[in-house]
Amino acid sequence: MKLREPRCDSEDGRLAQRMAKLEDKLFEVMQRNAHLEQENARLRAEVERLGKENSQLQQQLAAARKNSSTSSKPPSSDIVKPKKPRGKGGKKRKRGGQPGHQRHERPEFPPEMVGEFFSCTLDSCPDCGGSLLFSRKADPRVVQQAELIDSPLKITEYKMLAYWCPHCRKVHYAPMPEPVTKTGLFGPRLTTLVAFMKGVCHASFSTIRKFLRDVVGIKVSRGYLAKVITKVTEWLTPAYEELLARLPGEAFLNVDETGHKENAKKFWTWCFRAELYTLFRIEPSRGSEVLVDTLGEEFNGVLGCDYFGAYRKYMRKFDVLIQFCLAHLIRDVKFLTTLPDKKQKAYGERVREALRELFAVIHRRDKLSEAGFARKLESARQEVVRVATSRVPQGKHAQNLAKRFHKHGEAYFQFITTPGIGPTNNLAEQAIRFVVIDRRITQGTRSETGRRWCERIWTTIATCAQQGRSVFEFLLESVESHLRGVPPPSLLPSGT
């Protein structure tokens, strides 16, 4: 019997080498697997981070759209008024006057304003060349043309004659007329023109200076123009203070505020719109102390405003009735409908639909009886409150809106029981709009003197527009009353 021969050392060595290679490959696979697990964990974390970032960006995008979608018109009209129908064939109508639109023509100048009269004649027929007879049956066609005269200035020279006193042995001069002393180089109308250009036209002192130099024909410095504006500010102060003293007794007011620039400091322009006038105040604070200082602690009217904290604090501390703006509420509700969270979005849609029905009732007021309107309005109000406070999802924005209704829900519907107050704060926002335009053009003020001027001229402009009065005529009357030493004009209508 033949025995198996033992393995040689070389075979064992080969097996050991193979085992070592396998172990190396296994170690390499394990290392690669560990690296892939780390990479997988990193990618998962990155995906999670990107998901959170995407959610934040969507919310920021929704927040950015919150105001832009409602900047051109009140959001209250956005949700109830249908879009304007397109033209025939579904085409968008062209700009300008539409077919069938009533023609409007500027009235002719009255005869007392016409300085020259010319008659245009015909010597022969323009068609056949025959002779013509003057027609007394047909009225002539009249065309009027207005033109600036070469020099619109009227220069008046005053000579203060000199007199010698043999007793005092001094020269005495006759006194200058008091109106000339008060106004200086510019007369009443030219002073009023400078104030009008500065306030109504938003013109800078440099622009006014160029206009006076190139158009009117008089050269003055910017410093002198600033002195003119300071005088007009003083002459407008009595009318302004009369309105300021009247504010606390108003039955209802609409209030809004916007930023004001003055060098590197931040101020705030407050707008108080009453039924007959509008008053502006520029203050360093946006807090409730401005309301206390302006309206007092015993204000018994209704305040129309947005949901800003200063108004809520004033309401809480002094038990003031407030009508919070439903247009701002709609804006916040529309913001909910743009959120990525489906539950909050659905909640926002429900509240928005309830508000839509409320404003649909308001817009149908003329078609309903008084009792029917009150009944439908109250029913719509109850539905808005019910929808806003029930089935509220856990999202932050939805919870904030529901909390607002629990705490201040009644303050959104004061207009139902208070005649004269509207459901929105559109009146104050419209009144403050031209102030924002002025801020963008002029870049604000530089001193307290500038602030006082802005307060008074803005109040004059807004109030005159509200009453259908001429700003230029009121400014001229204010200047002339000061020169004559008579009581200044009031911005309140006569009889109030």
Rounded to 5 degrees, what are φ and ψ at 272?
A: -115, 110
Q: Report how far residue 280's alpha carbon sits from residue 244's, in angstroms, rounded to the nearest whole number.
A: 9
Span 438-458, mean pLDDT? Answer: 92
Residue 383 identity = E
CATH match for 187-324+425-496 among 3.30.70, 3.30.420, 3.10.450, 1.10.287: 3.30.420
Which of the four pLDDT bands, split at 50, 70 and 90, describes residue 298? Answer: very high
Q: Report how far residue 191's alpha carbon sits from residue 344's, in angstroms, rounded to the nearest whole number.
A: 59
Residue 1 CB burial class (10 angstroms; 0-12, 13-18, ≥19): exposed
Span 270-290, mean pLDDT? Answer: 95
The pLDDT of residue 99 is 77
The pLDDT of residue 386 is 93
The pLDDT of residue 89 is 63
Pairing of strands 278-283, 170-173: unpaired
- Give strand pairing partners of 252: 302
Residue 228 CB burial class (10 angstroms; 0-12, 13-18, ≥19): buried
Residue 58 has pLDDT above 70, yes or no: yes
Q: CA triplet 211, 458, 435: central angle to 5 degrees?
A: 90
Pairing of strands 252-262, 302-305: parallel
Which of the four pLDDT bands, split at 50, 70 and 90, describes residue 72? Answer: very low
Q: Report how far residue 205's alpha carbon sits from residue 208's, in angstroms, rounded to the nearest whole number.
A: 5
The pLDDT of residue 287 is 94
Q: Report how far residue 222's alpha carbon sits from residue 177's, in angstroms, rounded to the nearest whole number.
A: 26
Which residues touch 407 (CB under 8 Å, ≥6 apart)?
A: none
Q: Report how far residue 284's alpha carbon sits from residue 265's, in angstroms, rounded to the nearest whole number.
A: 8
Q: Report how far residue 187's alpha carbon sits from residue 153's, in angstroms, rounded to the nearest whole number.
A: 10
Q: According to DSSP H, which parts of 301-447 are helical?
A: 309-318, 326-336, 342-363, 370-389, 396-408, 426-431, 433-442
Q: Report how far residue 242's alpha carbon sits from residue 244's, in angstroms, rounded to the nearest whole number.
A: 5
* Of residues 305 and 3, more confidently modeled: 305
CA distance readout (Å), 60 to 55, 89, 336, 486: 9, 40, 12, 59
Residue 77 has pLDDT above 70, yes or no: no
Rounded to 5 degrees, what are φ and ψ at 47?
A: -60, -40
pLDDT, tens digit, for every residue of 399-442? 999 999 999 988 998 888 887 788 889 999 999 998 998 888 88
Pairing of strands 321-324, 302-305: parallel
Residue 496 has pLDDT above 80, yes or no: no
Residue 443 identity = Q
Cα of first residue to Cα of last residue in the chain, in angstroms, is: 142
Residue with tokens 């407050």: 270
* Ranges 67-76, 163-172, 360-369, most confident: 163-172
Query: And the tokens for 29?
Result: 């696979």
Residue 244 identity = L
State the chain's mean pLDDT as an integer. 87
The pLDDT of residue 71 is 42
> What letter does residue 415 receive in the DSSP assignment?
G
Span 143-172, mean pLDDT? Answer: 88
Q: Report how far residue 271's alpha carbon sits from residue 306's, in angstroms, rounded to the nearest whole number.
A: 13
Rounded to 5 degrees, what are φ and ψ at 491?
A: -85, -5
The pLDDT of residue 170 is 92
Residues in the chain: 496
Prediction pTM value: 0.76
Q: Read out DSSP for 210-279?
A: HHIIIII-----HHHHHHHHHHHHHHHHHHHHHHHHHGGG-SEEEEEEEEEEETTEEEEEEEEE-SS-EE
Of the candidates 328, 352, 355, the one whose C-alpha atom is nearest the C-alpha of residue 424 is: 328
pLDDT, tens digit, for every residue of 19-28? 878 877 887 8
Which residues touch 162 (CB under 8 Å, ≥6 apart)?
A: 171, 172, 173
Pairing of strands 265-273, 170-173: unpaired
Q: Report how far residue 208's alpha carbon sits from residue 194's, in angstroms, rounded to the nearest whole number.
A: 7
The pLDDT of residue 115 is 86
Taking only Cα atoms into account, the Rg of the chain, rounded to an integer number of angstroms, comes to: 38
Rounded to 5 degrees, what are φ and ψ at 452?
A: -65, -40
Q: Read out DSSP for 187-206?
A: -HHHHHHHHHHHHTS---HH
Q: How is the chain split into domains, by residue range? A: 187-324+425-496, 326-424
